[in-house]
Amino acid sequence: MSKLAVLGGDPVRTEPYPKWPVFDQRDIDAVTHTIQSGRWGGFPYPGPNTAEFAEKFSELQGGGYAVPMINGTITMEVALRAAGIGWGDEVIVPAYTFQATASAPMAAGAIPVIVDIHPDTYCIDPEKVQEAITNKTRAIIVVHLAAQMADMDAIMAIAEEDDLVVIEDAAHAHGARWCDRGSGTIGDFGSFSLQSFKSLTTGEGGVLLCKDEHMAERAASIIDCGRPKDADGKEHTMGVNYRWSELHAALGLVALERFPEQFTQRSAMADYLEESLSEVPGLQLLKRDLRLTRRSLYRYVMKMDPEFYRCNHDVFCKALSAEGIPVDTGYPGMHRYDLFQPGLSKLPVPTVFPEYFDFEKMSLPVTERASETESVWMGESIFRAGEQGIDDLIKGVHKLAENRTVLENLSKSE
């Protein structure tokens, strides 16, 4: 049995996984050309690069009116504001996500109502959404987490019944398809991030896909200091400057050229990983819903069995990372953030369903198990290192399995 690298043994992999983002001469030429054009900023909105990017991005997703802006947090705030959602309104969000999903409603003046996720996919649980609806609920934000998508059939049925706006937080889901429909094109809005880690990146940036043209005009107005964007030039909004720069859009056009090949490569390696994982003990894959007809590999999550490995996911991830396989434990539950504690954030606690705002009483068992015990998150770079990259991951997990007693001791000494 070889000694774990976390205790000074030789790591399974010494070669780092490929860096991200990648670039080549095309990025340098595109930025140089934009610099030389003298058109650097986003005013008047949209600039030529931004307009071209918007058109190509909605082609990639298969629909919607695309409004690029500065990031994938503002996109959700702008969607809510375009739809007239704000003070006192409730917006249902999943408890397991990046904090932006819940801070965006707050920035729009609404109250995020945090509900549990489904154990099969770690995406929002439609049954929990249904239970959390009050007469103040105006919207649902679903997150297509890691390589999964939320159950859009169930969510759209609930939304239709209760006349709710649906925003798909697709920050992890560029290029994904649900029943062959693009992520972000099924709900009223799709929100995408282009931040440095994302599988389609320009360093910073975001795109809001709108189903309705009028909503897209309102969103474009909100991000451009309220200037009217409707055909008659009459509708002013309460706007600010969230315009995207032409330099970022120049990078975006090249990123879009590269994306299909990267997408195919990551998907092939994820399939290879799943075939190989069947031989590995104590690891469980999330379920693959057949309606998820194309998945997008930004991050990939598995469940480790704490009883088998005799430790929690934090010790497991630390030990596997020391073997040269970068993994982490993912997000904390939303209810663990100070920001969302009503007492600290001064969120008003409504009289209907107050338990949705009292985190002491809130029961979010699936989120707690995922975020505090069992989830193992991989970065997309693991899927760009060829079969060797996946083989090393598998070797690393086998090594941990052989060293379970050591992991147990490590766990006790943490």
Ligand X SMILES: Cc1ncc(COP(=O)(O)O)c(C=O)c1O
User: Where along the sequence are the contacts to ligand X (CB under 6 A)?
Assistant: 71-73, 97-98, 100-101, 143, 169, 171-172, 193, 195, 206
What is the DSSP code (8-state) at residue 108? T
Question: Smallest distance from the beta carbon of 99 to ligand X, in angstroms?
Answer: 8
- Classify residue 393 as exposed, middle or buried by CB count within 10 Å of its CB (0-12, 13-18, 19+): buried
Question: Smallest distance from the beta carbon of 174 to ligand X, in angstroms?
Answer: 12
For ligand X, which is the closer residue by CB, 183 or 193?
193
Asked if residue 46 has a cis previous peptide bond (ω within 30° of 0), the answer is yes
Question: Smallest distance from the beta carbon of 359 to ligand X, in angstroms?
Answer: 20
Question: Smallest distance from the beta carbon of 169 to ligand X, in angstroms?
Answer: 5
Question: Smallest distance from the beta carbon of 148 to ligand X, in angstroms?
Answer: 12
Question: Smallest distance from the beta carbon of 229 to ligand X, in angstroms?
Answer: 22
**What is the residue-wise DSSP string for 202-239?**
-BS-EEEEESSHHHHHHHHHHTBTT---STTS------
Query: What contacts 23, CB < 8 A, 6 or more positions away?
Result: none
For ligand X, which is the closer residue by CB, 100 or 390?
100
**Pairing between β-strand 111-115 and β-strand 90-94 as defined by DSSP bridges:** parallel
For ligand X, which is the closer residue by CB, 330 or 396?
330
For ligand X, which is the closer residue by CB, 6 or 251?
251
For ligand X, which is the closer residue by CB, 200 or 366?
200
Evaluate whether 270 touches 384 at the Cβ level (below 8 Å): no
Give the DSSP H/E element, type plus range, for residue 177.
Answer: strand 177-178
Evaluate whether 265 touches 20 at the Cβ level (below 8 Å): no
For ligand X, which is the closer residue by CB, 73 or 137?
73
